[in-house]
């Protein structure tokens, strides 16, 4: 896959939105249960976690990739991108909670 411009990525996203909305019969993503805090969003978080683990175990530790500087750098980049995605989804899906008693500092 070649590098895509921001405009190309947005056009691709808009096409995916259109295709998914049609498949869902026109209901909104919120109504369908895909907003942060829903089971659908949790599913996306879990999928990102699985992909992150897959890249780590199957690519970053693969001897054919480790011996190739360029391949390894690309695998690290893919891993970092997936980690960033996981953190973004998690930050929206599971908002910061006040820490429990054990984590509180004494006054």
Alpha carbons 77 and 63: distance in angstroms, whole number: 17
Is 84 part of a structural domain of the chain? yes
On whether the CB atoms of residues 77 and 29 are closer than 8 A, the answer is: no
Alpha carbons 75 and 61: distance in angstroms, whole number: 10
On whether the CB atoms of residues 60 and 76 are closer than 8 A, the answer is: yes
C-alpha separations of 34 from 20, 46, 70 in Å: 12, 13, 37
Is 14 part of a structural domain of the chain? no
Full-model pTM = 0.79
Domain limits at 81? 34-95
At 54 the pLDDT is: 97
Q: How many structural domains comprise the chain?
A: 1
Is 90 part of a structural domain of the chain? yes
Q: Which of 22-31, 53-62, 86-95 has the lowest mean pLDDT?
A: 22-31
Is 100 part of a structural domain of the chain? no
Query: How large is the average pLDDT for residues 10-16?
Result: 96
Is 23 part of a structural domain of the chain? no
């Amino acid at each position: 896959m070649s590098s895509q411009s921001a405009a190309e990525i947005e056009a691709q996203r808009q096409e995916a939105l259109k295709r998914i909305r049609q498949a869902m019969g026109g209901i909104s993503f919120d109504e369908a249960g895909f907003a942060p805090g829903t089971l659908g969003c949790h599913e996306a978080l879990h999928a990102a976690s699985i992909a992150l683990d897959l890249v780590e175990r199957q690519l970053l530790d693969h001897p054919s990739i480790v011996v190739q500087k360029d391949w390894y750098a690309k695998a690290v980049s893919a891993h970092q991108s997936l980690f960033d995605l996981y953190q973004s989804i998690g930050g929206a899906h599971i908002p910061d909670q006040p820490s429990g008693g054990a984590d509180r500092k004494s006054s």
